[in-house]
Chains A and B, each alone.
Chain A
Amino acid sequence: MNVIIDNIDLFWDGLLGTLMICAYAAVGSLVLGVVLGIFRVSPVPPLRWIGQAWVTVFRNCPLTVVLFFCAFGLPELGVDFPDFYLWVGILGLVLYTSAFVCEAVRSGINAVQPGQAEAARAIGLTFTQSLGLIILPQALRTVVPPLGSVLIAMVKNSALVGAFGVGGELFATVDTLTSARGLPLIPVLVGVAIGYLIITLPAGALLGLLERKVAIAR
C-alpha cells in the first residue's frame, strides 16, 4: 500500500497520460469507424470494398502487430516527427479500434427496419439526408452498448502503447517503478490495475446512462 501512496504522483501522471491517449484514440476511431460504417452500407461499390477491406485487415490482425508496423515499420519508410512513439501508438489504436467501431455501426444501421429508409427515399430525401436524419439517429440506439464495449476494450489495449516505450502512460509506470526504482512488482501492478479501473468503471457507468437516455428519446 505504501508503494502506491508514496508514488501517487507517478501513478497520477500515468493515469492522465493514459486518459490523454484514450481521448485522442476514442475520437479518432469513432470518427473513422462511423465513416467506414457508412462506407459499408453505401450504394457506391468501391466505398463498400474499402470498408470491407479495412475491417478484414484490422479486425483480424493482433493489435501488437499493428503497433509494430506503426512503431518500427513507419521509421523504415522514413516517417518521423516529434513524440513519434506517442502519436504512432495512438495511430495504431485508432486503426485497430476503428474496425470494431465500423462493425458496430454497420450492424446498428442494419438493425433499422428497411421500411424506414424506403419511406425516407419516397418523400424525396437524398441518400445523405436519409442517413443523417432517419437511419443514423435510430441506429445510435442499438449501437451504444456495443460501442461501449469497444471503447472499454480500447482503454485496456492502450496499455500496449505503453509497452512500446511511450512514457508517461499508466502501464509504463510499471517499468519506471520496478526497474528504475527497484520497487516490488505486485503492489505496483495493483496500483496500475486500480488506475485502469478508475477510468473504465466510470466510463461504463456513463455509457449506461447514455444508453438509457437514447432509449427514452423514442
Chain B
Amino acid sequence: MIHMTGVNKHFGPLHVLRDVELTVPTGQVVVVIGPSGSGKSTLCRTINRLESIDSGRIEVDGKPLPAEGRELARLRADVGMVFQSFNLFAHKTILENVTLGPVKVRGMKADEARKLGMELLERVGIANQADKHPAQLSGGQQQRAAIARALAMKPKVMLFDEPTSALDPEMITEVLDVMISLAKDGMTMLVVTHEMGFARRAADRVVFMADGQVVEDATPESFFQNPESDRAKDFLSKILAH
C-alpha cells in the first residue's frame, strides 16, 4: 500500500531522511518509534506530501505521488492523517468537521454525509458532542473526532503522528482503543507512537528510526525481546526504564 525507496529529505543543511526504505502492505499496522528529532514526523508527512522529498520514490496504492494540484488533493483524500495536535477546524462543529471532506471533496450529499458523520462519531464514542465546537471538547474527545474526520474520507491508509502524546494520561486509552479497533478491522496504518502497549497489541511490525535512517524493521516480539542495534537497545532501555 505504501512503498518508499531511497527517500532523502533535507531541511537546509540538516539531512532528516537518509535513504529510507519502508513498505506498508495492505492491512498491516506498522509502528514507527525512535528518539526525538530522528525524522519520524517528517517520514509520516512525506507520504501525503505535506513535505516534499529531495530524492527517492514514494508510491501509495501502486501509484507514485503526484507533484501538485488536483491529483495531489485526490491522493490526500485517500490517505487519512491524524496529527499530534488534533488540528480540528476551530470554527466548525464536530459534525461539520467530519462532513466537510465528504461533501467538498467527495461530492456527497449533505444529508448522506450527516448520516455517515453521525455513524463515525458513534463509532468513536462522541456522538453526543456532534454540535459542539472543538474548543469545548477534551483532548481525547478532540483526537477521536479527528480520527472520525479522517475515516469519513474512507481512506485506503491512515497515518498517525504521535496521536496520544498531547493527551493527559487518562485520555490516552480512549484514543488507543479506537485505534486498536481500527487495526482489528483491517485498516492499513502507519503509526508514530511511543505507546509500547499499542505496538505490542496491534502492530504487525515495528520500525525503529534514528538520525533519519531506518535502523530496525522487525515484529514487535523480536524488536522488544532482541533489539539488534545498540541505538535501539539504548533507546528501549530509556523508555522502558520507568
Are A124 and B76 touching (Cβ within 8 A)? yes
For B48, the chain A residues whose CB sits under 8 A away are: 122
Are B100 and A133 touching (Cβ within 8 A)? yes
5 additional A-B pairs beyond A122-B81, A129-B105, beta carbons within 8 Å, are A119-B83, A119-B87, A122-B48, A126-B70, A218-B90
Query: On chain A, which size bracket covers the interface?
Result: 10 to 19
Main secondary structure of the interface of A (DSSP, over half): helix
Residues in B74-88 with C-beta less than 8 Å from chain A: 74-81, 83, 85, 87-88
| Chain A residues within 8 Å of B, Cβ to Cβ | 113, 115-116, 118-126, 129, 133-134, 137-138, 217-218
Are B85 and A123 touching (Cβ within 8 A)? no
Interface centre among A115, A122, A125, A137 (most CB of B within 10 A): A122
Smallest CB–CB gap between A144 and chain B, Å? 14
Q: CA separation between A121 and B83, bound complex, in Å?
A: 13
Q: CA separation between A217 and B91, bound complex, in Å?
A: 7
Taking a contact as CB atoms closer than 8 A, the residue among B73, B78, B89, B100 that contacts A126 in the complex is B73
Q: CB-nearest residue of chain B relative to A123?
A: B101
Q: CA separation between A43 and B31, bound complex, in Å?
A: 33
| B150 contacts A by Cβ under 8 Å | yes
Smallest CB–CB gap between B34 and chain A, Å? 22
Are A123 and B133 touching (Cβ within 8 A)? no
Are A116 and B89 touching (Cβ within 8 A)? yes
| B108 contacts A by Cβ under 8 Å | no
Are A115 and B91 touching (Cβ within 8 A)? no
For A118, the chain B residues whose CB sits under 8 A away are: 50, 83, 87
Q: CB-nearest residue of chain A relative to B74?
A: A124
Residues in B84-112 with C-beta less than 8 Å from chain A: 85, 87-91, 100-101, 104-105
Q: CA separation between A121 and B150, bound complex, in Å?
A: 12
Are A125 and B104 touching (Cβ within 8 A)? yes
Smallest CB–CB gap between B69 and chain A, Å? 8
Are A123 and B83 touching (Cβ within 8 A)? no
For B70, the chain A residues whose CB sits under 8 A away are: 126
For A122, the chain B residues whose CB sits under 8 A away are: 48, 50, 76, 79-81, 83, 150
Q: CB-nearest residue of chain A relative to B134?
A: A218
Residues in B129-155 with C-beta less than 8 Å from chain A: 133, 135, 146, 149-150, 153
Are A120 and B89 touching (Cβ within 8 A)? yes
Interface centre among B76, B77, B78, B80 (most CB of A within 10 A): B76
Q: CB-nearest residue of chain A relative to B77?
A: A124
Closest 5 CB pairs of A and B: A124-B77, A115-B87, A119-B87, A123-B101, A122-B81
